[in-house]
């Protein structure tokens, strides 16, 4: 079995990263917990990137990747590349497309996006950086009778298939267990599609709870990794085959102290890997 590095999704602790001092303390706590690294997101708003890079080096904490919104690629690509270089990570997030850019833009929507990202990838490649697309669920929507559905049956290609075909091999994708479930697909299916182009996989779990508004329906709530219904351990061989290097842990919302949630997730995933 491959040795995966474990990163923390900083978004889980977003409320504890609003100032430079809070950000640095949060990163120190994650490092002390035993995480190998962290996904940095919007940290340039709280701390100067050079100062942050110096702090991370001081405490010996790696950066798994940077995460950026798509819009930033259009006005601050140089800043994004500089940050990735400062943090010593080859992986730079470029956000995700929207339905308006792909599905509702007609057959050429994904192709136009692919052309733009091809230019971006060439610029990143020259600096040793690999762009990382945040894969959601709408990339697996297909047209059917003027409607949209997550269809497994043969039909028009998934938007993700068009994006894969229209971008270079150095344009990679970060997948997320939560969105794979939303798309009604299995993790091995998605990883087989992304083989060789997926460096980071995000683990997010959910539990089934009673829906107080409707007795006959249950709802899915975020929870710590390993505490819900996601079968993470069975995915490990597929992660290895696909070439995944980092597993990033986190959750959208927490029902207890978020730092405690991150501790539980790390403990549970470490147990799966050992």
Residue 153 pLDDT grade (very low, low, confident, very high; cuts 50, 70, 90): low
Q: For residue range 34-73, what is the model confidence (pLDDT) as tens digits?
A: 999 999 988 888 899 999 999 999 999 999 999 998 888 8
pLDDT for 216: 53
Q: Is residue 114's pLDDT more than 90?
A: no
Residue 270 pLDDT grade (very low, low, confident, very high; cuts 50, 70, 90): very high
Rounded-to-integer distance, Cα 202 and Cα 135, Å: 10
Residue 151 pLDDT grade (very low, low, confident, very high; cuts 50, 70, 90): low
Count how many Cα atoms sit within 13 Å of the Cα of residue 202 in the half-sphere of its side chain: 28
pLDDT for 185: 86
Displacement of CA 225 from its chain's centroid (Å) = 15
Question: Radius of gyration of the chain from Cα atoms?
Answer: 19
Q: Are 251 and 205 in contact (CB under 8 A)?
A: yes
Q: For residue range 188-214, what is the model confidence (pLDDT) as tens digits?
A: 999 999 999 999 999 999 987 766 555
Instruction: Provide mean pLDDT across the span 232-236.
Output: 95
Residue with tokens 């994904």: 110
DSSP symbol at 101: T
- Tell me if residue 51 falls in helix, strand or coil: helix
Q: Give the domains, in start order, of the chain with CATH numbers.
A: 5-273 (3.20.20.150)
Q: Is the dihedral of CA 143, 157, 67, 30 positive or negative?
A: positive
Rounded-to-integer distance, Cα 122 and Cα 125, Å: 5
């Amino acid at each position: 079995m491959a040795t995966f590095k474990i990163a923390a999704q900083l978004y889980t602790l977003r409320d504890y990263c609003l100032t430079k001092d809070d950000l640095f303390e949060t990163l120190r706590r994650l490092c002390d917990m035993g995480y190998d690294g962290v996904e940095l997101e919007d940290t340039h708003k709280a701390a100067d990137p050079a100062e942050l890079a110096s702090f991370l080096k001081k405490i010996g904490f790696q950066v798994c990747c940077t995460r950026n919104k798509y819009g930033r690629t259009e006005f601050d690509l140089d800043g994004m590349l500089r940050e990735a270089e400062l943090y010593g990570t080859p992986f730079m997030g470029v956000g995700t497309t929207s339905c308006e850019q792909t599905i509702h833009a007609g057959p050429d929507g994904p192709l136009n996006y692919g052309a733009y990202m091809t230019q971006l990838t060439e610029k990143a490649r020259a600096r040793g950086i690999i762009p990382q697309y945040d894969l959601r669920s709408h990339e697996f929507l297909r047209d059917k009778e003027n409607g949209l559905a997550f269809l497994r049956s043969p039909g028009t290609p998934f938007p993700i298939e068009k994006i894969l075909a229209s971008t270079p091999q150095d344009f990679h994708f970060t997948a997320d267990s939560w969105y794979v479930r939303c798309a009604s697909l299995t993790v091995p299916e998605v990883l087989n599609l992304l083989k060789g182009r997926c460096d980071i996989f995000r683990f997010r779990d959910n539990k089934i709870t009673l829906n107080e508004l409707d007795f006959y329906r249950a709802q899915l709530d975020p929870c710590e990794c390993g505490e819900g219904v996601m079968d993470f351990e069975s995915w490990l061989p597929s992660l290895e085959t696909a070439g995944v290097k980092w597993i990033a842990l986190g959750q959208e919302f927490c029902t207890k102290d978020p730092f405690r949630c991150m501790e539980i997730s790390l403990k549970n995933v470490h147990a799966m890997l050992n």
